Amino acid sequence: MVMQAAFFKIAQVIPVDDAVVYIKQAIKDTYGRKGDKIVNMNIQAVDRALEALEEIKYPESWATDTTGAELVEEEVPEYVKNVIRPILRQEGDKLPVSAFAADGTVPVGTTKYEKRGIAVTIPQWNADECIQCNQCSFVCPHACIRPYLAKEEDLAGAPESFVTKKAIGKEFAGYQYRMQVSPLDCTGCGNCVDICPAKGNPITMVPLADIVDEEAANFKFAESLPKPDVEFNRETVKGSQFLQPLFEFSGACAGCGETPYVKLVTQLFGDRMLVANATGCSSIYGGSSPTCPYTVNEKGHGPAWANSLFEDNAEFGYGMSLALRQRREKLADLINQALALGLEGELKTAFTQWLEGKDDADASRKAGDQIKALIDSAAAQAGGEMKEVLTAIAGMKDLYTKKSVWIFGGDGWAYDIGYGGLDHVLASGDDVNVLVLDTEVYSNTGGQSSKATPTGAIAKFAAAGKRVKKKDLGLIAMSYGYVYVASVSMGANKNQTLKAIVEAERYPGPSLVIAYSPCINHGINMGKSQREGQLAVEAGYWPLYRYNPELALEGKNPFILDSKEPTASFRDFLMGEVRYASLKKLYPEQADDLFAKAEQEAKLRYEMYKRMADN
């Protein structure tokens, strides 16, 4: 609107006053259904643009200058210089085919070279007030705010403004703590500040321009700190955030409700995970050429990621799982063969330990690291059949650590188009982990209705409000009895989200985690998307539960209802989102009927879950 108003004032193709009348009418026609607030904001944008338009007299020399502003080049990898930068300059069509790998793989961890600097305001940390809960880091959709631990001696040479405070917790004795933002990667969404539970504003949003240079230097220093050599519980909200996010600085919308889940999964399992990603927002922010937000740790370990068709992604992930199983069984056969051939010494111990712990992440990694340290020289020294076997084992190092197979996708994939395959894979009993990022619409293609869209919500193909209720995907999966199922909402309960993701991964069969994901398609303030996830649970709109088949084997009830009876108004929650409020504006009577139906459905669903939990 701003640019359109400016164009008509400058270009004078028609009298500007006429143009303004047409623009404002178009605003009413386009946004009327979204409510007066949005219409008025757009109208104000037009008026303010016309008032503020200023002519800038540029120096005449600009018309003939042949040199531009000088680019400040930082040290970047060859691929960034030779492939990514030309593509970003829209010169990708000049690249030869030989610039790309023949197998289609691309270097990872390249979003960090974009440094887009798109935020208007960014969080500034105040050490005094911070209680070191790490919740701001937990919810950040772009992995831009991270806690760092450093010993005093590591802080020599730190920038002056790199203030730290004594780390809380006996496991962190001798360490200093700092919460650090990456100013040029932050999108300025404000969720970190919004959810900070401490009194006295330990983080506040301030203009980017005021602190960008200082904080960019601080972030660079923080990233150069050595990894702390401490044992801590990784499976807590606080502890998980000391783990490196292996998904960072994606191109998702500011405040996206999907990406905090993806980031958390990579923090917990990223160094040994494979991801099959259905087409949707998660494949677009997960793999938009030319950069890649998935990255690696200091050992070069990180998620292996690929996107498949919308309609076959569960099968794609299942294939990964089957291939891994077959290849690891082959590895176990070879190890048994080496033992049968009479292998002795340290390698024998490592092999035996690996066979015992091969399906446990920590045990297989520990034994695998031992094998890695010994195998090459053992293979070189051996002869005959033993040499052949050890050489084959040495060539399978990628399989030593137990892998974590994840299948990611949105509700359009899981509830609709990929559902047949998803059902088949869950039924297989294989050890795969499915994360459904439920935005209740096909977000990436502009908000079409899916079977996850609840009654009364306006979406494309449901312009007068969805008439029928949301499919209960979790309940269908629970009917198998051997599928781990959880329904989570990070904004409502970070502990429950973390617990569910950890349990799902640990469960040795199929797991399904359905994650409530606030989205721009809901018509909400994305600076408070985490809070919206909390309101959804408090209003009884989204239930939290975990169904763990292992509890049934112990004679316990496998179903745990984690959310309490609603404490907030269901109707107020709906009216806080444009996808519902606009129905009320367009068709008030129908809206009342549909909202009453939606509330009744949510109530019946909660009561059913309560009965299941009480059994």
Ligand X SMILES: Cc1ncc(C[n+]2csc(CCOP(=O)(O)OP(=O)(O)O)c2C)c(N)n1
Residues that bind ligand X (CB under 6 A): 258, 279-282, 310-311, 409-413, 417, 437, 439, 442-445, 450
Minimal distance, residue 320 CB to ligand X, in Å: 19
Whichever of 422 and 583 has its CB closer to ligand X, that residue is: 422
Q: Residue 445: name its binding partner from ligand X, ligand SF4, none (Cβ under 5 to 8 Å by kind).
A: ligand X
Instruction: Determine the Cα–Cα distance for residues 329 and 208; give it in Å rounded to an integer.
Output: 53
- Is residue 137 within 8 A of residue 243, CB to CB? The reply is no
H or E segment to which residue 430 belongs: none
List interacting residues with ligand SF4 (CB under 6 A). 122-123, 130-136, 140, 142, 144-145, 179, 181, 186-192, 196, 198, 202-203, 252-253, 256, 258, 281, 285, 439, 443-444, 519-521
Whichever of 121 and 444 has its CB closer to ligand X, that residue is: 444
Q: Residue 295: name its binding partner from ligand X, ligand SF4, none (Cβ under 5 to 8 Å by kind).
A: none
CB atoms within 10 A of CB 565: 8
Tokens representing residue 80 in the block = 């960034």
Whichever of 491 and 558 has its CB closer to ligand X, that residue is: 491
Minimal distance, residue 442 CB to ligand X, in Å: 4
Whichever of 242 and 400 has its CB closer to ligand SF4, that residue is: 242
Instruction: Determine the Cα–Cα distance for residues 234 and 569; give it in Å rounded to an integer.
Output: 36
Q: Residue 494: name its binding partner from ligand X, ligand SF4, none (Cβ under 5 to 8 Å by kind).
A: none
Q: Residue 183: name its binding partner from ligand SF4, ligand X, none (Cβ under 5 to 8 Å by kind).
A: none
**Edge-to-edge strands, sheet with 484-488:** 304-307, 273-277, 404-410, 433-438, 511-516, 484-488, 545-547, 559-561
Minimal distance, residue 281 CB to ligand SF4, in Å: 3
SS3 content of the chain, % helix, strand, coil (to 5): 50, 10, 40
Minimal distance, residue 449 CB to ligand X, in Å: 10
- Is residue 212 within 8 A of residue 161, CB to CB? The reply is no
Whichever of 177 and 415 has its CB closer to ligand X, that residue is: 415
Whichever of 216 and 459 has its CB closer to ligand X, that residue is: 459
Whichever of 187 and 401 has its CB closer to ligand SF4, that residue is: 187
181 φ/ψ angles, rounded to the nearest 5 degrees: -100, 150
Minimal distance, residue 12 CB to ligand SF4, in Å: 38
Q: Residue 253: name its binding partner from ligand SF4, ligand X, none (Cβ under 5 to 8 Å by kind).
A: ligand SF4
At residue 291, the 3 state secondary structure works out as coil
Whichever of 146 and 328 has its CB closer to ligand SF4, that residue is: 146
Q: Residue 186: name its binding partner from ligand SF4, ligand X, none (Cβ under 5 to 8 Å by kind).
A: ligand SF4
Q: Residue 317: name its binding partner from ligand SF4, ligand X, none (Cβ under 5 to 8 Å by kind).
A: none
H or E segment to which residue 151 belongs: strand 145-151
Sign of the Cα torsion 238, 242, 247, 253 reads: positive
Whichever of 138 and 442 has its CB closer to ligand X, that residue is: 442
H or E segment to which residue 516 belongs: strand 511-516
Q: Residue 321: name its binding partner from ligand X, ligand SF4, none (Cβ under 5 to 8 Å by kind).
A: none
Whichever of 378 and 417 has its CB closer to ligand SF4, that residue is: 417
Tokens representing residue 128 in the block = 């005094």
Minimal distance, residue 88 CB to ligand SF4, in Å: 20
Minimal distance, residue 441 CB to ligand SF4, in Å: 9
Q: Residue 279: name its binding partner from ligand X, ligand SF4, none (Cβ under 5 to 8 Å by kind).
A: ligand X
Secondary structure E strands in 314-364: none
- Is residue 509 within 8 A of residue 429, CB to CB? The reply is yes
Q: Residue 144: name its binding partner from ligand X, ligand SF4, none (Cβ under 5 to 8 Å by kind).
A: ligand SF4
Minimal distance, residue 498 CB to ligand SF4, in Å: 15
Minimal distance, residue 38 CB to ligand X, in Å: 22
Q: Residue 417: name its binding partner from ligand X, ligand SF4, none (Cβ under 5 to 8 Å by kind).
A: ligand X
Minimal distance, residue 580 CB to ligand X, in Å: 18
Whichever of 167 and 335 has its CB closer to ligand SF4, that residue is: 167
Residue 303, Ramachandran bin (φ over 0: left; ψ between -120 and 50: alpha; else beta) = beta
Residue tagged 């039924």 (tokens): 427
CA angle, residues 200, 204, 207, in degrees to nearest 5: 155
Minimal distance, residue 175 CB to ligand SF4, in Å: 15
What DSSP state is assigned to residue 252?
P
Instruction: Determine the Cα–Cα distance for residues 55 and 369; give it in Å rounded to an integer.
Output: 66
27 φ/ψ angles, rounded to the nearest 5 degrees: -60, -45
Alpha helices (H) along 154-228: 191-195, 208-224
Start-to-end CA distance of the chain, whole Å, equals: 57
Residue tagged 């919206």 (tokens): 532
CA angle, residues 557, 429, 507, in degrees to nearest 5: 55
Minimal distance, residue 313 CB to ligand X, in Å: 9
Q: Residue 310: name its binding partner from ligand X, ligand SF4, none (Cβ under 5 to 8 Å by kind).
A: ligand X
- Is residue 410 within 8 A of residue 280, CB to CB? The reply is yes
Whichever of 222 and 281 has its CB closer to ligand X, that residue is: 281
DSSP-derived pairing of the beta strands 511-516 and 559-561: unpaired
Please give the residue whose beta carbon sits closest to ligand X in the complex: 410
